[in-house]
Structure 1
């Protein structure tokens, strides 16, 4: 197990990058309150990951497949596990993140697999220009370009997650269409908390003392 040195940033889990990219409050609930709720989608994801989360490797012609490979990035303070890593005979390394749902181009999964690529570059002393997200919903793999834009997005998201951890305060709820697909909707109460400012304003108005009235003697 790695130890955090005095000059190293506090470690951010790779999975937290995806959670934050989807919804900052979701990431905060998981990181700060250790809260997580299961639904049909999360159960499907867990079942789909059973095989790839068993550590080991497979050998095919010109491709070695590694499963459940621990990775980290010292400078960025990232740590986690890659679902699948393909090491090709010519030296190309490709991380493959497995998801149960549909793929969204440029979505949160891209941030997670991009971070995996950056971690693998440090661990394997290589350069990775392409990663992949395999989705169970359509049974295909989607290529993700590990370019400058994605790398900057990974860095920015990591710093945002680290800020949430340091502040110890939950981000505001999204209260939009993302909440319908979130297993943590009930505990998060986005529709209630999204109106907190209005509630506080009405409460303040309700209990604001009336101006004093001067009475004539």
Structure 2
């Protein structure tokens, strides 16, 4: 399937969707947003990643910042915080550059590595877009975490690639229906900037139909 450009979803939404489907829908379907310390600090951190020369050369490595990426087959678009090109025999030719260059996406995150794969999925989504745009294969990339100040290498395994595709298909289905799903409240709710808009405690309540059913029951 080829998605028209007007139906493209935001690539960054992959991270939101993996973390919490309801959070993603509130942001990307309903257009709601709320800030807290984490989101503000994260925005500042990303601005620093994009600052400086948008393209520079360091020996056998070329560095670009804020490169736009998209995929009509996945129906997404977004941007790479940093996209490096490493000189490699397995790479691709670049205009006005000698030799071959291997694309290597790098995503910047303010915190530290997480137990879930939300960050890795977003990075893998960037790689899939680049593969489609540049007609190449990208086996790996990196997540740079500001709290530990180092990169974590991410391999784009078949399993990770498949999860990206399946999540995006689910995201498109929900977006087309304009449907905001309910979810079970979890330990991540307290730290979520959308907490006051989401009202996770109400998710524990009984449904209206259950309330009415119980109200109509007559004790023997």
Please give the TM-score of this superposition, normalised by the length of structure 2.
0.86
Candidates 114, 117, 128, aligned match of 1:118:
128
Name the CA distance, whole Å, in 2 between partners of 1:32 and 1:196.
25
Unaligned runs of 5+ in 1: 1-5, 212-217
Q: Spell out, residue by residue over 1:47-95, the C-alpha distance to the aligned partner (whole angstroms, 9 max, x if none).
A: 0011333581121111111100000112111211111101012222110
Shift of 1:116: 0.3
**Closer/same/farther in 2, CA of residues 184 and 106 from structure 1, 3 Å limit:** closer
Please give the TM-score of this superposition, normalised by the length of structure 1.
0.87
**Is the 8 Å Cα contact of residues 2 and 75 (structure 2) preserved in structure 1?**
no
Counterpart position of 1:3: none
**Closer/same/farther in 2, CA of residues 105 and 118 from structure 1, 3 Å limit:** farther
Counterpart position of 1:202: 211
Deviating 4+ runs (over 6 angstroms) = none
**Is the 8 Å Cα contact of residues 84 and 97 (structure 1) preserved in structure 2?**
yes
- Over the aligned positions, Cα root-mean-square deviation in angstroms equals 2.0
**Is the 8 Å Cα contact of residues 23 and 174 (structure 1) preserved in structure 2?**
no
Unaligned runs of 5+ in 2: 89-100
Larger radius of gyration: 1
The DSSP-based 3-state class of the residue aligned with 2:176 is: helix
Counterpart position of 1:215: none
Name the CA distance, whole Å, in 1 between partners of 2:206 and 2:109.
34
Q: Spell out, residue by residue over 1:23-49, the C-alpha distance to the aligned partner (whole angstroms, 9 max, x if none).
A: 000000011111111111111100001
Name the CA distance, whole Å, in 1 between partners of 2:204 and 2:116.
26
